[in-house]
Structure 1
Amino acid sequence: MRRAPKDTAESIRKISRRGVILGGVQLAFAGALGLRMQHLQVDQADEFRLLAEENRINIRLIPPTRGQIFDRNGAILAANEPSYRITIVREDAGNVDDVILRLSSLVELDEDELNRALAEMERSAPFLPVTVAERVTWEDISRVAVNAPALPGVTPEVGLSRFYPRRGDFAHVVGYVGPVSERDLARYETPDPVLRIPRFQIGKVGIEARHEEDLRGRAGAKRVEVNAVGRVMRELDRREGTPGADLQLTVDSKLQSYIQARLGEESASVVVMDVQNGDLLGIASSPSYDPNKFVRGISVADFGELRDNDHRPLASKTVQDAYPPGSTFKMVTALAAMDAGLVAPDETVWCPGHMEVGGRRFHCWKRAGHGHMNLELSLRESCDVYYYDLALKVGIDRIAATAKRLGLGQVFPIGMSAVTQGLIPNKEWKRAERDADWRIGDTVNASIGQGYVLSSPLQLAVMTARLATGTAVEPRLVRSVDGVEKALRGGESLGFNENHLRQIRRAMYAVSNNRRGTAYGSRIIDDAVRMAGKTGTSQVRNITAAERARGVTRNEDLPWNRRDHALFVNYAPFDNPRIAVSVVVEHGGGGSRAAAPIGRDVTLQALFGDDPPLEAYPAKDRDRIREQQERLQQVLRANDTDGRGRA
């Protein structure tokens, strides 16, 4: 049936209208698409070109070379040595188990390290290299290289690793490095990106930690071309980083090694200080440990042995530990009394062997008493009652103020870890810390370095140097950073009356050179290097009235950890002071027996720079000293050979 012309015209009109609308929509869409393409391809071309380049080219950090550490004479204490390692890329290896089995027939693989590597492979992308063996020998590297076709994905590599050629001699001073931990990262508000490099190492304790920013340096960078999944295709260019700064310490490594050998396995510490400029020439804690074990990753068994040792080899006893200073504190009490004008050097006090104070009996170490004592005699023979009497006159606040002027109760920022402030108590301290009033008995105890008083071996060395010079000399351990010398601190006058200081020094001279002096048995007889010193013995247990009645148990008859600490401080030469020395032997018994001989030997070694002539020792000691020198030289030669063999 034919449609009417009128209907046909109407249909054509409707189709034309729809076509125009549809065409307009298509035209508008094409226009918008064109504008968008122009915006992307023209207006934002540079931005997208940059994004594409960043997808294709990665920037990767190059670890900087760590700065080295030297002693005052240029001997190396912390070095960087080539370290050979073997890595494996999981996707290139194919069957990892088969490859590792073939590798283990060529190179001895540590089971713990291998297990860590396998666990790391599971967490890492398949194209990233994972270390399966570290610190392998050159022979191992050679065997792997020769058998490379049979070891797909395995690559021998070379890098730098920290090494401490002096091993335990400087463990407590220099410290050691180790892998970055989450705890390390948490210390920084914005961590250096280089810290996130796998297995990157930073200082953990000691100078390595305290001077981390100086030693680390700045990372370099390399541009590498990667494919779509991030695999490296080739290296385009690189910019080497800035090496870390070298550090020079004030310590004499030869003297330090001697001190460590002289202390042996004693739980003890020694500090040797230049009294003129504060340089620490020796600062040794015993027993020590090999820091190289921590760099490589110490085993559970080795760490457990160090941790459980009752002589605490991990502790830096010279700065970290604080002890009752015992009779080495008596110079402080005497100087406080003279400075206050409350006692004259020739004024005497009667010592019957004890003193009654506040209904309590305070004993002298000499049960029968010393009789009439003045300043020089009381220091020479270490009478306690004399200082009890001084304490009642001068009071704790003046004693505490004098102690702090002499360097006790202060933190000296020398760069070692966990430097203690010690404790110089007074009335305000006891109210704040113990919520109790200060008692007169507290003052009596403090006058002889007992009770609440605590001092580190470093502080005792500073005290001795200040008594010897009358100046506020401060200790210095880092001599220079990258060749720039660190400024000396202190040196101004302490403001003490010089006549009072001379009285103290003369009494200390008598301690070491008078027949009745407590350190006479450890005297130096060479007139050019005679020393002035003071022995000390600090109790670590209470002695009951019942024990005193039946006789105080000798240190030799007590368990080691209940024996008294032995202390000795000295400076030399007496007429022209050059060095101050402090010695603490934990649970060593009496200071005159255990600490003074060490102090005398270290003093002579420091002054002569080598084994001193036997003529400096009393004639009766020379055969024993000769044998001791020969034995210690054997130890030093063995340690030097072992250390240099790895350098």
Structure 2
Amino acid sequence: MRRPVRDSEDSHRKLTRRALVMGGAMAATIAVLGGRMRYLGVDQAEDFALLAEQNRVNIQLIPPDRGLITDRNGKLIAGNEQNYRVVITREGAGDVEAVLNRLSHLIPLTRGDMERVLRDVGRNPSFVPIPVKDRLSWEEFSRVTVNAPALPGVSPDVGLSRVYPRDTDFAHVVGYVGPVSEKDLEGIENPDPLLRIPKFQIGKIGVEKWREDVLRGAAGNRKIEVNHVGRVMRELERTEGEAGADLMLTIDADVQNFVQVRLGEESASCVVMDVTNGDIIAAASAPSFDPNLFVRGISSANYNVLMQNDHRPLANKVVQGAYPPGSTFKMVTALAALADGSLDVETTVRCPGYLEFGGRRFHCWKHGGHGKVDLARSLAESCDVFYYEIAQKVGIDKISEMGRRLGLGMRHDLPMSAITEGILPTKEWKQTKYKQDWRIGDTINASIGQGYVLASPLQLAVMTARTATGRAVVPRLIRAIDGVETKVAEAESLGIPESHLEAVRAGMNSVVNSQHGTSYGARVAAADKKMAGKSGTSQVRNISASERETGVVANTDLPWKFRDHALFVAYAPADAPRYAVAVVVEHGGGGSSAAAPVARDVLLRVLTGALPDPADYPETQRKRIQSMLEELRLRNPDGTMPAEKKV
């Protein structure tokens, strides 16, 4: 049966309405999807591209382990200790200041710390990790680790930091490390990328600086995947770096410690050298300082204390100090005169206590004079007039040439800072330096190590070693690198006739072992350990004519800075030289009284391998020596080294 026409029209209208509603809904859905796609694909394209880019692989440098430094017997001098720290990267953190504020609730951060980090962040590429805080306690380190998910760009890290377990003993020799500065980077054409890492430590002075090339090592790297907030997702690859080479020094840490303790709080220095190969057994400068303070960041207060100390604890007097060598220079003048033919062992000079020349008196230290003096006696009793007379015949140029042959007036090539060349003057030198002609009076002053002549304790030790052996002994400080010993070439002959050297050695032997010798009080009683030496006292002020008339003011009555320097050089055993020593005590007074006893104690320490035996001293001195040794033992209970720190 056919449906009525009206019913068909109603059904058609209903279908059309439904189709329109469904079509409209579909159109609306498509419009919304299209709009969202446009928003994501066009309007937010840059943001999402950045997020995708940040969820990428980064490459980070891994600092290498710094090489160790040991003494000649393998005892640790400079090592590395674990250092818990926190670093931050700008690309991971986003708002660095906000992250630092959150981090400050977990570990102590000062405003200065945060300002430094913000400054370093701005100066370096966004992927470079910037140290925020180091030397954290385990508790502080753990708090940061646990809260790391809430600290974008922040990474707890375990690195290595330099430590010097022997504190003050090697401060001047080994030096210390510190963060790279702009000054360090000056003059480096293509700096190692490691040097761009903030707070990366490099050597600042001493062996740490001058052997940085082998101690630093080579960096490693690791590839890590980080997400868009800088959080490390996983480590993809790791290439370990190459650790720095280990250095073995020629120095004996036990002897170095003994010398440092023996010098005490004097402003002084001492060098001990093996005359057979040039090995430096000890090189102590006093007073010293703790290099660990500089590694950790020395405070202004502590630094000012060091800078204001008139004994100059920061200076390495062993190589930086340039002193008038005083009478220790007389061996140079004597050898120059022997070589020139102006002097032989029989030559005598009359000493009335002064020399008249050019209307001026050049005084001998002994007011009444020494009378008739030959070479041996001139050295034993340190007669000045003898050298005034022979120097005029030889001339300054030949004296200085002999000094250079013996190791003075030159910079010895050692990995130490600010090594002085000293001064061995010549006629040409004075004309170049002062535009003045050389005068005979200049030669007279130079003949006894005064005037323009300057030498360091290291140079004086070399001079003594060469006099003892007749060979051009060269000082050496590095014994081995990564277990491979540095080669020592056999020292060449100085070309000085043995008879000349024997004449000077005989005089040096008399200085200590003759009853009339200036340093007889510092002699060694043990026959197999006797030393030969020469004292020196160098003036640091002019003595006026009126003072000589009324009496020269004693050193003990003068302010410390106006007192004479005390010097002593020696070698032992006297009949078979093995070690040479040079001691300088700034403003110490007489060389025989202030410097010679130190040299004797140090030589006995080296020769015996332990604290000196009182039996090796003259009987009348043994009680006093026993008390001194007991005091040294109290300062070092084991008699050799202070207890080592754990590293």
Structure-2-length-normalised TM-score: 0.87
Question: Would you say the 8 A contact 1:422–1:456 is kept in 2?
Answer: yes
The structural deviation recorded for 1:222 is 1.8
- CA shift digits 1:433-481 (9 cap, x unpaired): 1111000000000000000000000000000001100011110000111
Following the alignment from structure 2 to structure 1, what is the Cα–Cα distance between the partners of residues 179 and 100?
Answer: 27
Partner of 1:168: 168
- CA shift digits 1:569-619 (9 cap, x unpaired): 000001110000000001111101110010010010011111121110112
Following the alignment from structure 1 to structure 2, what is the Cα–Cα distance between the partners of residues 127 and 216?
Answer: 23
Partner of 2:304: 304
Flag the 1:551–1:82 CA change in 2: closer, same or farther, 3 A. Answer: same
* Superposition map of 1:433-452 within 5 A: 433-452=433-452
* Superposition map of 1:480-491 within 5 A: 480-489=480-489, 491=491
Partner of 1:46: none
Question: Would you say the 8 A contact 1:353–1:370 is kept in 2?
Answer: yes
Following the alignment from structure 2 to structure 1, what is the Cα–Cα distance between the partners of residues 138 and 54?
Answer: 38
Question: Would you say the 8 A contact 1:58–1:225 is kept in 2?
Answer: yes
The structural deviation recorded for 1:288 is 0.7
2:510 is aligned with 1:518: no
2:395 is aligned with 1:395: yes
Following the alignment from structure 1 to structure 2, what is the Cα–Cα distance between the partners of residues 405 and 398?
Answer: 11
- CA shift digits 1:110-169 (9 cap, x unpaired): 775465346546767888754443212334434555676887876542110111111110
Partner of 2:619: 619
Question: Would you say the 8 A contact 1:102–1:151 is kept in 2?
Answer: no
Following the alignment from structure 2 to structure 1, what is the Cα–Cα distance between the partners of residues 554 and 122?
Answer: 62
2:285 is aligned with 1:285: yes
User: Secondary structure of 2:455's match?
Assistant: coil
- RMSD across aligned C-alpha pairs, in angstroms? 2.6
Question: Would you say the 8 A contact 1:93–1:151 is kept in 2?
Answer: no
Q: Is there any run of 5+ residues in structure 1 with no aligned partner, and where? A: 1-51
* Superposition map of 1:110-259 within 5 A: 113=113, 116-117=116-117, 119-120=119-120, 130-142=130-142, 144-145=144-145, 155-226=155-226, 233-259=233-259
2:610 is aligned with 1:607: no
The structural deviation recorded for 1:268 is 0.4
Following the alignment from structure 1 to structure 2, what is the Cα–Cα distance between the partners of residues 643 and 96?
Answer: 43
Following the alignment from structure 2 to structure 1, what is the Cα–Cα distance between the partners of residues 638 and 524?
Answer: 29
Flag the 1:264–1:311 CA change in 2: closer, same or farther, 3 A. Answer: same
Flag the 1:279–1:94 CA change in 2: closer, same or farther, 3 A. Answer: closer
* Superposition map of 1:164-563 within 5 A: 164-226=164-226, 233-489=233-489, 491-563=491-563
Partner of 2:105: 102
Question: Would you say the 8 A contact 1:178–1:294 is kept in 2?
Answer: yes
Question: Would you say the 8 A contact 1:91–1:126 is kept in 2?
Answer: no
The structural deviation recorded for 1:225 is 3.5
Following the alignment from structure 2 to structure 1, what is the Cα–Cα distance between the partners of residues 478 and 281?
Answer: 11
Partner of 1:9: none
Flag the 1:510–1:112 CA change in 2: closer, same or farther, 3 A. Answer: farther
The structural deviation recorded for 1:86 is 3.4
Following the alignment from structure 1 to structure 2, what is the Cα–Cα distance between the partners of residues 640 and 63?
Answer: 36
The letter for the 2-side match of 1:348 is T
The structural deviation recorded for 1:526 is 0.2
Question: Would you say the 8 A contact 1:92–1:127 is kept in 2?
Answer: no
Following the alignment from structure 2 to structure 1, what is the Cα–Cα distance between the partners of residues 411 and 300?
Answer: 34
The structural deviation recorded for 1:414 is 1.3
Flag the 1:643–1:160 CA change in 2: closer, same or farther, 3 A. Answer: farther
Following the alignment from structure 1 to structure 2, what is the Cα–Cα distance between the partners of residues 481 and 530?
Answer: 35
User: Secondary structure of 1:575's match?
Assistant: coil
Partner of 1:635: 635
User: Secondary structure of 2:583's match?
Assistant: strand
The letter for the 1-side match of 2:102 is V
Following the alignment from structure 1 to structure 2, what is the Cα–Cα distance between the partners of residues 363 and 138?
Answer: 69
Question: Would you say the 8 A contact 2:60–2:128 is kept in 1?
Answer: no
- CA shift digits 1:69-88 (9 cap, x unpaired): 11100001110111112346
Following the alignment from structure 1 to structure 2, what is the Cα–Cα distance between the partners of residues 435 and 547?
Answer: 32
Question: Would you say the 8 A contact 1:93–1:154 is kept in 2?
Answer: no
Structure-1-length-normalised TM-score: 0.87
The alignment covers a number of residue pairs equal to 593
Following the alignment from structure 1 to structure 2, what is the Cα–Cα distance between the partners of residues 615 and 302?
Answer: 43
The letter for the 2-side match of 1:102 is H
The structural deviation recorded for 1:640 is 8.7
The structural deviation recorded for 1:423 is 0.6
Following the alignment from structure 2 to structure 1, what is the Cα–Cα distance between the partners of residues 230 and 70?
Answer: 42
Flag the 1:500–1:543 CA change in 2: closer, same or farther, 3 A. Answer: same
Flag the 1:574–1:112 CA change in 2: closer, same or farther, 3 A. Answer: farther
Identify which range, 344-353 or 580-589, moves more after superposition. 344-353
The structural deviation recorded for 1:62 is 1.4
Following the alignment from structure 1 to structure 2, what is the Cα–Cα distance between the partners of residues 641 and 355?
Answer: 51
Following the alignment from structure 1 to structure 2, what is the Cα–Cα distance between the partners of residues 534 and 110?
Answer: 58
Following the alignment from structure 2 to structure 1, what is the Cα–Cα distance between the partners of residues 105 and 639?
Answer: 38
- CA shift digits 1:344-376 (9 cap, x unpaired): 212211111100112211000111111111111
Following the alignment from structure 2 to structure 1, what is the Cα–Cα distance between the partners of residues 271 and 453?
Answer: 20
2:577 is aligned with 1:577: yes
Question: Would you say the 8 A contact 2:633–2:639 is kept in 1?
Answer: no
Identify which range, 137-146 or 124-133, moves more after superposition. 124-133
Following the alignment from structure 1 to structure 2, what is the Cα–Cα distance between the partners of residues 642 and 340?
Answer: 51
The structural deviation recorded for 1:213 is 0.7
Question: Would you say the 8 A contact 2:258–2:640 is kept in 1?
Answer: no
User: Secondary structure of 1:587's match?
Assistant: coil
Following the alignment from structure 2 to structure 1, what is the Cα–Cα distance between the partners of residues 394 and 360?
Answer: 20
The letter for the 2-side match of 1:242 is E
Flag the 1:600–1:642 CA change in 2: closer, same or farther, 3 A. Answer: closer
